[in-house]
């Protein structure tokens, strides 16, 4: 079955998808990311000893702000009136885990908003820790779950 590319018009030109005929439903998306770093950096983060301040607070705020600005960053994304955004950050054995959950009652999903929140939170952690660990690696930015909309639910298999 041939897939229709809805971001292209009949002439193959980029366009924003018309969502006016879509039903307004409750939609939610969960995305995750990891920032791998040295043990020394993880300890400093955990102990609140990073010279630039509260890394996790800054990363949470940055992720939330980024989710609200996704349409300004990603071409053809619709500006959305997001209901809620949470950005959770957890120190693991060899990395910092980030999870963003975004919800809306609307006509289009919030997958890009959740992915953007994770990405910018991870970049903020990198920025605030780069003076002590330039070798950090941001990886595994991915959609883990989504609900609502015509395509139905999605859940990543671990």
15 in a structural domain: no
Q: Is 126 part of any domain? A: yes
Low-confidence residues in the chain, pLDDT < 50: 1-3
Domain range for 128: 25-148
Asked, for residue 30, whether it belongs to a domain, the answer is yes
Residue 4: the pLDDT is 56
Instruction: Read off the pLDDT of residues 45-89 as tens digits, 9 standing for 90 and up.
Output: 999 999 999 999 999 999 999 999 999 999 889 999 999 999 999
pLDDT at 127: 98
The tally of domains found in the chain comes to 1
- CATH code assigned at 122: 3.30.70.640
Instruction: Say if residues 119 and 33 touch (Cβ distance below 8 Å).
Output: yes
Residue 91 lies in a domain: yes
Is residue 12 assigned to a domain? no
The predicted pLDDT at position 3 comes to 47
Shortest CA distance to 43 belongs to which of 115, 102, 97, 91? 91
Which DSSP string corresponds to 9-68? -TTS-B-----TTSPPEEEEEEEEEEEE--HHHHHHHHTT--TTS-HHHHHHHHHHHHHH
Residue 2 lies in a domain: no
Per residue in 113-134, is it b (16+ CB within 10 Å) or e — as a string? bbbbbbbbbbbbbbebbeebbe
pTM: 0.90
CB atoms within 10 A of CB 91: 14
In a domain, 20, yes or no: no
Neighbours of 148 (CB within 10 A): 21
Residue whose pair of structure tokens reads 């003076």 in the numeric block: 131
List the catalytic residue out of 54, 94, 127, 133: 127
Identify whether 127 is a catalytic site residue.
Answer: yes
Q: Is residue 19 part of a domain?
A: no
């Amino acid at each position: 079955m041939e897939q229709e590319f809805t971001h292209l018009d009949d002439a193959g030109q980029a366009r924003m998808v018309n969502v006016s005929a879509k039903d307004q439903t409750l939609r939610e998306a969960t995305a995750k990311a990891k920032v791998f770093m040295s043990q020394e950096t993880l300890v400093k983060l955990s102990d609140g000893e990073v010279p630039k301040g509260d890394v996790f607070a800054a990363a949470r705020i940055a992720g939330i702000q980024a989710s609200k600005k996704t349409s300004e960053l990603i071409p053809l994304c619709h500006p959305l009136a997001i209901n809620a955004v949470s950005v959770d950050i957890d120190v693991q054995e060899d990395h910092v885990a980030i999870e963003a959950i975004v919800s809306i009652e609307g006509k289009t999903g919030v997958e890009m908003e959740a992915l953007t929140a994770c990405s910018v939170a991870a970049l903020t952690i990198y920025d605030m820790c780069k003076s002590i660990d330039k070798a950090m690696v941001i990886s595994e930015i991915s959609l883990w779950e989504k609900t609502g909309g015509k395509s139905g639910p999605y859940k990543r298999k671990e």
